[in-house]
């Protein structure tokens, strides 16, 4: 009985610690999935920065699966992709909910929008002459059920001739490996990331593919 209680206390402690670590990266300019807002009409997005078209689908394992549960899962996946791509709002272009004995599915497509725009001069001043420490990684795939989180602690190198570039209202940073001990292939060579948010000494950068099967959000500490 005592061992069970001790185990429960330890697990609760580490669970709360993980939640605190994740929430510490909810910086200004980044919107967590549960806070993504759905727009009722496009007029509300007139002052926002328009982003990508995203998709989500959820399917019931059994014919008895509640359709509301399936639909909520599809919406949660849609908001997860919107969040990791730096959006604050989304506008649903298409939805299809099928609730029959033979099929229970929920499908969505939506356009993402970002309310807060970044300033390339502010970012340049924040990172000029500094080093970046890779502290956090969030990953999400349309083929998975949820966003994954990992703690990291690696130095990365952005000291290129022109590390920052602005295109179509978005700001990108070129990252290359500095530490030869880096063994993760995804961080080798020069990779272009979109800057999502900056607050204090914390910077969030994003890299993904068009199919939505690979989305990565990195948390960098500026030192």
Whether 21 is in a domain gets the answer no
**What is the tally of structural domains in the chain?**
2
Per the model's pLDDT, the better-predicted residue between 122 and 185 turns out to be 122
Of 114, 147, 178, which residue is a domain's last? 114
Instruction: Indicate if 110 and 124 belong to the same structural domain.
Output: no
Instruction: Indicate if 106 and 82 belong to the same structural domain.
Output: yes
Whether 174 is in a domain gets the answer yes
Q: Residue 83 sits in a domain of what CATH number?
A: 3.30.1660.10
Instruction: Indicate if 126 and 214 belong to the same structural domain.
Output: yes
Question: What SS3 class is residue 139?
Answer: strand
Give long-range contacts, CB 8 A cutoff, 24+ apart: 141-144.
141/212, 141/213, 141/214, 141/215, 142/55, 142/56, 142/57, 142/77, 142/81, 142/211, 142/212, 142/213, 143/213
Instruction: Indicate if 182 and 213 belong to the same structural domain.
Output: yes
Instruction: Indicate if 126 and 212 belong to the same structural domain.
Output: yes
Instruction: Indicate if 57 and 125 belong to the same structural domain.
Output: no
Its domain, for residue 196, covers: 120-222
Instruction: Indicate if 156 and 94 belong to the same structural domain.
Output: no
Of 66, 87, 114, which residue is a domain's last? 114
List the end-to-end C-alpha distance of the chain, in Å, as a whole number: 47
Q: Residue 200 sits in a domain of what CATH number?
A: 2.70.180
Instruction: Indicate if 147 and 202 belong to the same structural domain.
Output: yes
The pLDDT value given to residue 14: 40
Instruction: Indicate if 124 and 210 belong to the same structural domain.
Output: yes
Helix, strand, coil fractions of the chain, as percent rounded to 5 = 25, 40, 35
pTM of the model: 0.81
Of 94, 114, 134, which residue is a domain's last? 114
Instruction: Indicate if 160 and 183 belong to the same structural domain.
Output: yes
The pLDDT value given to residue 34: 94
Write the CA distances from 187 to 22, 155, 182, 215, integer angstroms.
Answer: 21, 11, 8, 14
Instruction: Indicate if 158 and 93 belong to the same structural domain.
Output: no
Whether 216 is in a domain gets the answer yes
Among residues 110, 118, 111, 109, the alpha carbon closest in space to that of 30 is found at 118
- Per-residue pLDDT of 139-190, as tens digits, reads 998 888 778 888 877 766 655 556 888 988 899 998 775 444 444 544 456 7
Whether 17 is in a domain gets the answer no
Instruction: Indicate if 103 and 42 belong to the same structural domain.
Output: yes
DSSP state of 181: T
Per the model's pLDDT, the better-predicted residue between 12 and 190 turns out to be 190
The pLDDT value given to residue 57: 93
Whether 15 is in a domain gets the answer no
Range among 48-62, 87-101, 186-200 with highest mean pLDDT value: 87-101
């Amino acid at each position: 009985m005592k061992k069970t209680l001790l185990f429960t206390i330890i697990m609760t402690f580490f669970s709360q610690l993980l939640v605190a670590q994740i929430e510490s990266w909810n910086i200004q300019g980044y919107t967590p999935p549960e806070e993504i807002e759905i727009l009722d009409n496009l007029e509300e997005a007139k002052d926002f920065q328009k982003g990508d078209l995203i998709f989500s689908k959820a399917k019931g394992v059994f014919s008895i699966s509640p359709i509301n549960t399936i639909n909520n899962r599809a919406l949660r996946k849609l908001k997860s992709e919107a969040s990791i791509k730096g959006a604050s709002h989304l506008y649903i272009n298409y939805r299809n909910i099928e609730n029959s004995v033979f099929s229970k599915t929920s499908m969505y497509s939506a356009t993402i929008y970002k309310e807060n725009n970044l300033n390339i001069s502010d970012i340049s001043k924040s990172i000029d002459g500094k080093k970046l420490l890779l502290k956090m990684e969030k990953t999400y795939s349309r083929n998975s059920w949820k966003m994954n989180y990992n703690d990291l602690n690696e130095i990365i190198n952005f000291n290129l001739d022109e590390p920052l570039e602005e295109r179509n209202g978005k700001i990108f940073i070129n990252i290359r490996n500095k530490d030869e001990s880096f063994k993760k292939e995804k961080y080798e060579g020069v990779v272009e990331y979109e800057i999502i948010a900056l607050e204090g000494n914390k910077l969030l950068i994003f890299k993904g593919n068009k199919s939505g099967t690979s989305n990565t959000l990195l948390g960098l500490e500026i030192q």
